[in-house]
Amino acid sequence: MTLQKVLSFIRRAADDYHMIEEGDHIAVGVSGGKDSLTLLYGLHGLMRFYPRKFDIHAVTVDLGFGNQDLSRIEELCRNLEVPYTIVKTDIADIVFRERKESNPCSLCAKMRKGALNEAIKKAGCNKVAYAHHKDDVVETMMMSLIYEGRFHTFRPVTYLDRMDLTVIRPLIYMNEADVIGFVNKAQLPVVKSPCPADGSTKREYAKELVKRINQENPGAKMRMFTAIQGSGIDGWMENGKQ
């Protein structure tokens, strides 16, 4: 997977769903994983030729596990000349040690997003880019079917009125396999998640289920994605046409 191909995926998503406007200041949520680093690198590349001028600011929420080395990500941001903010928190202590949550993901995500949004507004950004790819779109739909009984997934673009902040997801046309291929080719400094719940969540179950369905029925994942685009789910009209 070449950078040129990554840029074509990101530009198509940005154009189809009107993600980027002139003068946007876009925060990039960087967890340290393969997806967020691909997004950071891709948006940096897009800045050079996209017809609407925008800038980016990388932001990482440090959950406070104490064993995540972000120095290589700091170095990457310096090389790209992208401002980088690390937000120190005690989320790990609260979720895992004080409250000892049996289902920690929900509370952790809520607190992480709160810390991220606060840092984003402080940095003067009007948008935040999340690194959800095509597999995430389909897996979230599958989780919604199984656990909520409805056909639903997150939007490509979401406006948070209470924060006056717009969430964009420029990787929605990329498969996870594409991301892995690019990260390996570009040798991006991936940092493993320190979360003890990583790999044992409902999302991981949905991921394995979609993977198995697609293996047994080649092309099923793409057909699910196409169904989402044409489903009438708010914000997901095909090619962003409302």
- Map out the domains of the chain as residue ranges: 3-139+153-195
Structure tokens belonging to residue 32: 């340290």
CATH of 3-139+153-195, one of 3.40.50.620, 3.40.1170.60, 3.40.1190.10, 3.30.2010.10: 3.40.50.620
pTM over 0.85: yes
Burial 77-97 (b: 16+ CB within 10 A, else e): beebebebbebebebbebbbe
Per DSSP bridges, beta strands 24-29 and 127-129 are: parallel
Tell me: the pLDDT tens digits for 140-194?
999 999 999 999 999 999 999 988 999 999 999 999 999 999 999 999 999 887 7
For residue 66, pLDDT over 80 is answered with no
